[in-house]
Amino acid sequence: MKQAIQSLLFVGMIGVTASAEAQQWEPLPAQPPIPADNPQTEQKVELGKVLFFDPRLSEHGTLSCNSCHNVMGSGDDNRPNSIGMHDARGGRSAPTVWNAAFQSAQFWDGRADSLEAQAKGPITNPIEMGMGSAEVVMERLKSIPGYLPLFKAAFPGSPDPINMDNLAKAIASYERTLITPDTPYDRYVKGDKSAFTEQQARGMQTFAELGCTACHSGPNFSGPSLQAGQGFFMKFPTFAGSKYDDQYDLLLDTGRHAVTKQESDRHLWRVPTLRNIALTAPYLHNGKVETLEEAVVVMAKTQLNKDVTPAQVKDVVAFLTSLGGSFPAQTMPRLPLTVGVSIVPAVDPHLKTTPLSH
C-alpha cells in the first residue's frame, strides 16, 4: 500500500512542467548497486555468464536466459511476446537486461525484489524455461561434471555449492556487469556539449517540458533510486479513455494488481528504463506498439494527456537515441560438457516431427 500511495503521489506531479535547465540530469554510475550478501567476484561472474547462456537450464535444453534477453543485441528479443517451452507465449514483452541492475525491482509488475529473485523465476516457469522444480534444476546441473569446480570457485567454503540460491547469485553477478554508461547523453551531461546534435539538445528540452521526467527520471531514466525491493510504480494509463486503450489493449492486463490483488495496485507498473530504448522495439508491457515514434505519441496522451506535434515527436525520439550506449564486448562462454551421454530428456513423443533430408 505504501508503494502504491507513493506512486500515486508521483502521478500527481505529472502535470508539472520543468525546463531542461531545471531538471537534474544524472549520468549513469560506473557501477550498479551491489548487495552486501552477494559481492562481485570474477569467479562468480564467470559462472553466472555460463549459466546465463546454458540452454540445459530449460526442460528440453533449447532455451537459455539469453534466448529472451540477448546480450549480443539489445538485451531483449525484440518480440511482442517471447517464445517459451512447448511453444508457449507469455503475456508480456521481455524487458531488456541491459542496465537492469539499476532497477530496484524486477519484472514489469515488480514482483521480484532483486536480480537474484528474478533469476530464479523463468527457469521453473512452465511457459518460460519449463523446469519442473528447483530440485530438478539442481539434479541436472550436478549431472554435468564441469559445473562443480565452477561453483566451488565462485562459492569457496560451501560444502554443497550447487544450489538454487548460488545459481541465482551467480547469474545476478553477471547481469550486474551488463551496463552501458558511456552514451552521448552521459557525455553531454558531464560537460561534452559536442556529444549532442542540435536536435537531441532540443529533444532533451522537450522531454522535460512535456513532463516525461515525472516518471523517467534518475540516471537510469526509470525513476528515483530506491532501496532494493521498493519498486517505483506508475499507473498506466494514467489518463484512461483515449483511443489507445482499445487500440493497444492497455486495460487487459492489470499489472501489479495481478500479483498483490490489491485494488490500489490495479494498472500500476514498474517504470522501465529508457536507456537503449531505440533498440528495444516493440514497446509497452505487451509489445503492442511497433515504433518508437508511436510510443512517444501514446505515452504523451495516456500519461500526460497531451497531444504532441510531429516536430515534438521527432525531437524527443532524437533525444531518446542519445540514451543508447557502447555495449561492453560479450563473448560466448564455453559450457561444461558431458561425455558419452545426454542429460536432456527426449522431447514429448506426442509432438509431431517431420524428418529432414540433409
Q: In this predicted model, what pLDDT tens digit does every residue of 122-159 receive, in sequence order?
A: 999 999 999 999 999 999 999 999 999 999 999 999 99
pLDDT at 6: 45
Q: Which residue among the candidates 21, 26, 42, 128 is catalytic per the annotation?
A: 128
Question: Residue 3 above 70 pLDDT?
Answer: no
Which tens digit of pLDDT belongs to each residue from 9-64?
A: 444 443 333 344 556 899 999 999 999 999 999 999 999 999 999 999 999 999 99
- On whether 257 is known to bind a ligand per the annotation, the reply is no
Phi-psi map region of 330: left, alpha, beta (phi>0 left; psi -120 to 50 alpha): beta
Whether residue 285 is annotated as binding a ligand: the answer is no
How confident is the model over 324-347, as pLDDT tens digits?
Answer: 978 999 999 999 999 898 888 765
- The answer to whether 69 is a known ligand-binding residue is yes
Instruction: For residue 68, say whether it is annotated as part of any ligand binding site.
Output: yes
Q: How many CA atoms lie within 13 A of 205 on its CB side?
A: 9
Where would I find the beta strands (DSSP E) of the chain? 233-235, 268-270
Which DSSP string do the residues of 99-154 spell out, in sequence order? TGGG-SSBSTT--BSSHHHHHHHHHH-TTTT--S-HHHHHHHHHTSTTHHHHHHHH
Q: Which residue has the higher pLDDT, 2 or 273?
A: 273
Binding site annotation covers 65? yes
Question: What values do phi and psi take at 303, rounded to 5?
Answer: -105, -25
**Domains of the chain (ranges plus CATH)?**
2-30+181-321 (1.10.760.10), 42-175 (1.10.760.10)
| Cα radius of gyration (the chain) | 21
The amino acid occupying position 143 is S
Mean pLDDT of all residues belonging to the chain: 91
| Residue 128 annotated as catalytic | yes
d(CA 199, CA 115): 36
Please enumerate in sequence order all residues whose Cβ is within 8 A of that of 6, keeping only pairs 6 or more positions apart, or say none.
none
- Is 216 flagged in the annotation as binding? yes
CB distance 133 to 124 below 8 Å: yes
* Closest C-alpha among 156, 167, 177, 137 to residue 48: 167
pLDDT at residue 60 in the model: 94
pTM of this prediction?
0.91
DSSP state of 170: H
pLDDT, one tens digit per residue, over 239-255 is 999 999 999 999 999 99
Kindly state the cell numbers that stand for 50.
555460463
